[in-house]
Amino acid sequence: MISLSRVIFTVALFGISCLGCSVHSSPPVSVASAEPDAEKWLRLGQRLAQQGSIARAEEYLLAAWAEGATSRQVLTLLLPMCLSQGRLRTALEYAQRARKSDPQDPRLLQISISLHLALGHTELARSEMDALALLGPQYQEAIYFLGEQFYRLGQASRAQAYLEQYVRTWPMAPDAPWVTHMLTRIAPARRLAVSTEAAVSTEAAVSTEAAVSTEAAVSTEAAASSVAALPPGGEP
């Protein structure tokens, strides 16, 4: 299960990626892709959130979303409010709603995966991890995320590929020492898995060979008994 702090970190990265599309109260920034009403609701929602009126802010933000504001503009403000109140399921519902309109956005998928893991939805997280891997994102946070989460999910070989790519591409990143630590933990585990698999294969081969030998011995013994039972003329 992923920690809430990791979910908040993932959402924060999403917010950073949306700085160019978020709404600021001073100075006001035009929301080019939204209708005028959507822009108004976004600004009111942000103002109320800053004042601590979370419930009312949420209403205005949802109204902005309905009026044409983009998922990124809304979620940048909406998700932190949900997380501040521990409303992970509600945050997940909003992330899933956003994904329906933009299923190819890897950052939305990262948020959804993080929330699934925080809620203990391991199988759903695994499925979405596969979907994220298929998208093939190459930005730094995605490579780290894929490596770390595959590591936490026990998929060592998949984790290793992303973690090695991370330290190879961003060797001076602040997370590089932790990535290296994960790699050192993965190597012995993979060696043990390979050794165990080899031992099982060898045991299976020996068992098969023993079974064949036993069967052959039984067949030979049966044939000898049949021959011994023949009358002296050689015909039954």
DSSP line for 173-207: STTHHHHHHHHHHHHHHHHHHHHHHHHHHHHHHHH
Domain residue extents for the chain: 1-137, 154-223
Position 23 confidence tier, pLDDT thresholds 50, 70, 90:
very low
pTM of the model: 0.70
The dotted CATH code for 1-137 is 1.25.40.10
Average pLDDT over residues 58-62: 96
Q: Report the chain's terminal Cα–Cα distance, integer Å.
A: 75
Residue 27, preceding peptide bond in cis (omega within 30° of 0): yes
Give the H or E element holding residue 169.
helix 156-169
Position 189 confidence tier, pLDDT thresholds 50, 70, 90:
low
- Report the chain's C-alpha Rg in angstroms: 30
Flag whether pLDDT at 208 surpasses 60. Answer: no
Flag whether pLDDT at 82 surpasses 80. Answer: yes
pLDDT score, position 26: 37
Flag whether pLDDT at 207 surpasses 90. Answer: no
Of 24-38, 125-139, 210-224, the least confident: 24-38
pLDDT score, position 3: 58
Check if the beta carbon of residue 147 is closer than 8 Å to that of residue 159.
yes
